[in-house]
Amino acid sequence: MDLDLDYYFPFSDVSKTLQRINMYPFFDISHYILMCLLVKEDTPQLGTPTFSRHHSFASWLASMLMCFAGTIIGNGLTGEPLIVPFQNHRDILVATIVWYVLNYAPFDLVYKLAKFAPVHLAVCLLKEIQRTRKVFDGVAAGVRLYPQAYLLNVLIGLVKANGSPVMLLFARLVTGQFRPPIVGAFSVTTKACLVVAIVFLMEHTGHLPAQYHNHVYLGAAAFFVLLRLAVKLLGPMDPFYPFEWLAGALLFGGLADAISGLFRQGGAASRPPSAAPVVATDGSAGAAANGAPKKAATDKKRE
């Protein structure tokens, strides 16, 4: 007997709306804002307008690479041309306008507005709704191209939704600085995208019933939104750490290392303490040093 989730969670209409809603322009603009902010704050002048004033083309190109990072890297995995995202003049124009006003508005007003906490939070939440769509579309494209390659299906969905950590290396090359990202490739967002991509893949392969699709999609969107809210309101956190720690302890040698460490500590405690060497003080050392020649002279006279 199938469980009727619509009876307990009557949110199918919300899920259908999220799946049908057009990502342009508001959701796309939110993504462009976050990526242009990332480039602006990652430049050597740390968010000041100096770099974009003196290196406008480098700043623009790095921002465009970040804005379309998921599509560029995803096309590389699916065998499509990498420059396909740049053939859409509308998207390039909108992203360029966002880049321009963030970097060249008088008194940095637009930049300060985008960094204002309530505005920034709203932009981030819109971005998470778009991220859900990108994960789903990426997994669907992977299943369509490589039906039995489950690893590729998950990987395509992952990079479509979160390709910026990888593209950040190339953006730094464009801006004249090459260093690894401070936040590793497997950030909390990357882990969340990985989990959601696996869930969507299970849905495509039939491991999750098709009639639950609306609830699965809505749950994925809520997961992204709540995770971003928690990070913004409570500070940096990693809800996946307990599961990683448990997996490391049980499957990857963590438990064996802990047991061997306990045995080493027990062996060290059972050994008797060795006698500490007698260390002479400065006075006794000096006395011994001064007395040695006198004793040698006395012995020589006796002879």
Encode pLDDT of 50-90 as tens digits: 778 888 999 999 999 999 999 999 999 988 999 999 999 99
Can you give the pLDDT at residue 135? 97
pTM reported for the whole predicted model = 0.81
3-state secondary structure of 81: coil
- Under 8 Å CB-to-CB from 295, ≥6 apart: which residues? none
Reference 157, options 220, 214, 218; nearest CA is: 220
- d(CA 80, CA 166) in angstroms, rounded, equals 18
Residue 147: C-alpha distances to residues 91, 105, 297 (Å): 30, 48, 98
Delimit the domains of the chain by residue range: 16-241
Cβ-count burial 255-264 (b if 16+ within 10 Å, e if not): eeeeeeeeee
Q: Report the range of poorest mean pLDDT among 60-64, 151-155, 165-169.
A: 165-169
- d(CA 302, CA 273) in angstroms, rounded, equals 45
Max Cα distance, the chain (Å): 115
**For residues 102 and 37, is the Cβ–Cβ distance under 8 A?**
yes
- Helix crossing, 254-270 with 241-251: angle to 10°? 70
Residue 281 has pLDDT above 60, yes or no: no
**For residues 194 and 116, is the Cβ–Cβ distance under 8 A?**
no
Encode pLDDT of 191-242 as tens digits: 999 999 999 999 999 898 888 899 999 999 999 999 999 999 898 888 998 8
Can you give the pLDDT at residue 284? 47
Residue recorded with tokens 């004793």: 295
Q: List, as one string, the DSSP characters of 94-134.
A: HHHHHHHHHHHSGGGHHHHHHHSHHHHHHHHHHHHHHHHHH
